[in-house]
Every structure is written in structure tokens, then in C-alpha cells.
Amino acid sequence: MNVTIDYYDKNAAEYSADTVGVDFSATQKKFLEYLPPYAKILDFGCGSGRDTKYFLSKGFFVDAMDGSESLCRIARRYTGITVKHMFFDELVAKDKYDGIWACASILHLPWDELLVVLHKMADALKKDGVIYTSFKYGDFSGERNGRFFTDFTEKCLFEMLAEVPELVCREYWISMDVRSNRSEEKWMNSILSRKVAH
């Protein structure tokens, strides 16, 4: 992860400028439809703070965190809330969140670390809680343009769920990148929820 954190620390201003103004409302609204009013959301790898600010504007309560100190500073200024400097594997919450938003964030974890973190995310959800995730679409895993990526296909999604049986997939969909300079890139999106015990 260090190479990825270093990348974001060094390129935080450019990355934020490239992402903060992107209209991501279609996906944000889809996620919020699963949540009760005034829900508690964790923005898990908040980047510029774009999504945190949107959720706050809709009346939700948001905890925001990022592994890059530089992005935390930018997101604090943009959102006006405390943004915690924290790595994904440091999540220890239990039954705390109605929703966890992991937009283009946990895709930076290698497979084994990703599975560990997903267990922690499941633990952090309330019993009716949901997780949104997005990964670049494909089967590549490794360093690309200065950052580590684990890409996802439908096969990867269901292999992941087999390893994290406390989560189930509510829906998944493939989308195109909403940034005009990335319109050829495809993304694997999913909404996951805690499995209800019978």
C-alpha cells in the first residue's frame, strides 16, 4: 500500500481537482435508496471529500477517512468536518454504520488484504447495512501508473463473496467512467449487505 499512499500524498491536489467536480449523483442516489433517513455512513477512502459533502447535504451523518494525510487535509477543508487519517485495516467498528461507501478505494488492496478488510467492513455494518464498492473492470492485479490495483470482474465478485460469507450481493452493474478523459474505462460496481441470520 505504501506506493499507493505515496502517490496520493504527492498528487493530492491534482487528484482532487480531477475528481471533486465529477457528477456521481446517479450512483450516490442508488446507494442512498438502501439507507434509512439520517443514516450513519462511513466514507471509506474519501479522497477529495466529494461524496462526503454530497451525503452531508442530504442530511446523512458521515464519518470520513483516508490513508493519505494530504487528501485528509483537502477533504477537511472541502467538507468542513473532521476527516480521520486511517488505513483500511485499522477499521475496528462494530454494528456502527448503515452504509459504507468504498468508491474507488479498496481497489488498491491486494486480494488477501482485501478479504481481511471486507470482513472488518461487514463487522462495522448494522444488521440492515449495505456497502457500495467500485473496482476497475478487468482481471489485472498489480502496480499501474504509480498505484496498486486489484481489478474485478463478475467472477472476482463471486469468488470474493465465497471468501466473505457474511456478505451477500444485492446488485452489481458495469458502468463507464464519468470523467470525460476516461470515458473508455469500465467499472465494476456492487451493493453488498450483511447476510441475515435465520
In angstroms, the CA 70 to CA 172 distance is 32
Average pLDDT, the chain: 94
Among 90, 100, 79, residue whose Cα is nearest residue 5? 90
- The tens digit of pLDDT for each residue in 149-194 reads 999 999 999 999 999 999 999 999 999 876 555 667 899 999 999 9
Q: How far apart are CA 52 and CA 63, in angstroms?
A: 8
Residue ranges covered by each domain of the chain = 1-9+37-192
Residue whose C-alpha is closest to residue 149's, from 112, 108, 113, 105: 108
- In one-letter notation, the amino acid at residue 62 is V
Q: Output the CATH code of domain 1-9+37-192.
A: 3.40.50.150
State residue 59 phi and psi, 5-degree precision: 90, 10
How many other CB atoms are found less than 10 A from the CB of residue 32? 20
Q: Which three cell numbers stand for residue 75?
A: 477533504
* pLDDT tens digits for range 37-74: 999 999 999 999 999 999 999 999 999 999 999 999 99
For 8, other C-beta atoms within 10 Å of its C-beta total: 21
